[in-house]
Structure 1
Amino acid sequence: MELKPTPPRDARSRYLNKKQTHVTEKTIYNYDTALTRFIGFLDSEGTADMRDVTSDTIARFEEWRLESVKPITARNDMRTIRNFIQFCESIQAVPVGLHELIQITNVKQEDEICDDVLLREEAVQILDQLDKYQYASLRHVTLLLLWKCGMRIGGLRALDVGDFDEGRPAVQIRHRPETGTPLKRKQNSERDVLIRPDTADVVADFIRNRRPDVTDDHDREPLIATDYGRASRTTITKHVYLSTSPCFSNGGTCPFNEDPSDCRATQWGHASKCPGSVSPHALRRGYVTAARNAGQPKDVTGDRVNMSGSILDKHYDKGTHDEKAERRKGYLRDI
């Protein structure tokens, strides 16, 4: 089979266009980021045609990535590259079978599992501070729903005002890709999440008194709204980083010997630089761990947060050995 001349950027565009039919915008972004790095590497080597890409080229790219990133990041890049090369085989841009020569970066188990987690005690302290000083604010509702529901950012962003059922009370998470709010697992991520009445009271007060009267670009009424419409993932993330900085919830005392009045990490957009702040996903891990420690069954927790039992065990349940032993205690029988 004769190979066709194909510039790497053209191959990338065709690959992403094909993927757009069945994956989320965030996944497309991740693919594009990895491929942009790969094409930049090809440019640096003077490779202007996919026909000149060999397994050795790809192995050198992996070596180059490992000079600046952790193995787990390189592994994710290599998975994307292998899938991309397989697509290139289908359009006769590279030899058939090239993708089979690509070896995915090995990762130690301890490096594969992220331990970034917000403990229940920390979450309670943060929510108490928000309840006292920023009641029913966008930040309060954001942290409250992320913690109480253990949901992903995508699920939180997808909520409209009409998805809040004050009577039950519950929030209804729906996949609406045609209007800008896809869910990670599409229809499989759709679910209703029951919430406590006190949580519902905060959400209701936010809607009635503090939520901006705005619609998004699709004339929907976003629940998590700013003056400009539906809150972005970046905005939500910034609220979480600021709220989880230790000096926010412990009376202004910095455990890292910084002066909060002069610390750049206390400013909007810079809180991620604080070594004590955590990302939104740490709340999801924290909720799962706290729910399991409280005796909530694994399948109930998994259904609530839209997660399989194996993923829950491997990546999200951060209970200590003592905590896990206590969970089993009530099931012990004298045999």
Structure 2
Amino acid sequence: MTDRQRRKVSPEKAVRRFVSRHDGTENTVRSYSNRLQDFLLWADEYGIDHMHDLDGWAIDEYREYLEASENAPTTIKGKLTALTQLLKYCESLEVVEDGLHEKVELPTLTKEEETSDEKLEADEASRLLEHFRNSPRQRGTANHVLLELMWHVGGRISCFRALDLGDWYPDERKLEFRHRPPTRLKDGTEHERNVVVSEGVAEAIDFWIERERPEKRDDNGRKPLLTTNHGRASESTIRFWSYLATQPCLYRECPHNRDRPSCPYTDRSKSSKCPSSRAPHAVRTGSITWQLNRGLSYVRVAERVAASPETIRRYYDKPDYDEQLARRRPDTEGMDVLNREVDR
């Protein structure tokens, strides 16, 4: 089939159809949609009116466009991966030539480029949670209870958003994470699990339910655990709660010489701009590292946070040198050439 015989499909229509037909989770679909926005901008600038106008040279031009825009290596790889999936979809519908997706060369990343070292430090988490638990005004608020959950469970946003009120068992201090579309866990039922939390976390959850939680149902008539005045908290709302809950000026002077009452970053919409605030992913990374530092095995932490041990080792375990030493110390404390007990 020649290009002239192929159906004329604009990049905008192709992306729209691809995203609407994708059967992945809500997060995956949204991720593809976001990652393909640069492709649409580039296609408009480069004069790509139809998908069959694409060839190997044009694809390489798009990669150069991404690199010139100072995207991080991981961002470039993600956007090119999304383009690869879009081209595969178009190939299946005979919109572009077969095998076009193979002309997308993904960059090879180092381990350092693949992962982010940003995390909420354990000492910082401890001080923030101590502040919330002792604050008459902020104890049991949405910011507080979310930080308790994120730090002590180490789950993803989708896990906490999916929780219903009935998933909390106060007598057992147990949370049940269940996959109930349209609220989804990342890998569906494979990530279903029960998690026990400490008494301090349980008290924060109970206080939230009794004093602070808006009594609302979601669009499906369910009672979410994390609610706003409009129903179930959205993922963007949860991100804002995370940024607001991790600002160090909550309990000490601002490390950036700002006055909290007048600082624009204390506003919900600008909270992500605070240099010291942390996104949910950074809290999850800090939590997982902290749990491993406390002696939990990779397997047990993986079960708790819903990830494979391999994923945890590669992306989430970020101990500093002293933390690495502390983990090794029990095995090497008595290591001496003259200590025969060690040799046995």
TM-score bin (small chain) = over 0.9
Q: Is the 8 A contact 1:146 1:283 kept in 2?
A: yes
**Over residues 129-178 of structure 1, what are the superposed CA-to-partner deviations in whole Å (9 max), with x where a residue is unaligned?**
1112211122211111111111111101100100001122211111112x
What's the CA shift for 1:326?
Answer: 2.2
> Residue 220 of structure 1: SS of its match in structure 2?
coil
Query: Is 1:215–1:230's contact at 8 Å kept on the other side of the alignment?
Result: yes
Equivalence map 1:1-335=2 (5 Å): 1-3=1-3, 4-7=6-9, 8-19=11-22, 21=23, 23-68=24-69, 69-133=71-135, 134-177=138-181, 180-250=182-252, 253-332=253-332, 334-335=342-343
Give the C-alpha shift of residue 198 in structure 1.
2.7
Alpha-carbon RMSD: 1.6
Instruction: Render the CA deviation track for 1:271-306: whole Å, top value 9, x for unaligned.
Output: 211111111111111111111111111110111001
The alignment partner of 2:260 has SS state of coil
* 5+ residue gaps, structure 1: none
Aligned length: 329
TM-score where L is the length of structure 2: 0.91
- TM-score, with structure 1 as normaliser: 0.93
Instruction: Give the whole-Å Cα distance in 2 for the aligned partners of 1:87 and 1:158.
Output: 30
CA distance in 2, matches of 1:172, 1:264: 37
Name the stretch that deviates more: 215-224 or 127-136.
Answer: 127-136
Identify which range, 262-271 or 8-17, moves more after superposition: 8-17
Residues 292-331 of structure 1, C-alpha deviations (whole Å, 9 max, x = no match): 1111111101110011111111211111233223213324
| One-letter code aligned to 2:19 | L
Q: Deviations over 1:13-72 (max 9, x none)?
A: 3322331x3x11121111112223212211222221211101111111111112221121
Instruction: Decide which moves more: 240-249 or 161-170.
Output: 240-249
Q: Which runs of 4+ in 1 moved over 4 A?
A: none
SS at match of 2:269: coil
Describe the SS at the equivalent of 2:175: strand
Give the residue type in structure 2 aligned to 1:13.
Answer: R
Whether contact under 8 Å (2:59, 2:104) holds in the other structure is yes
Q: Percent identity?
A: 33
Alignment correspondent of 2:338: none
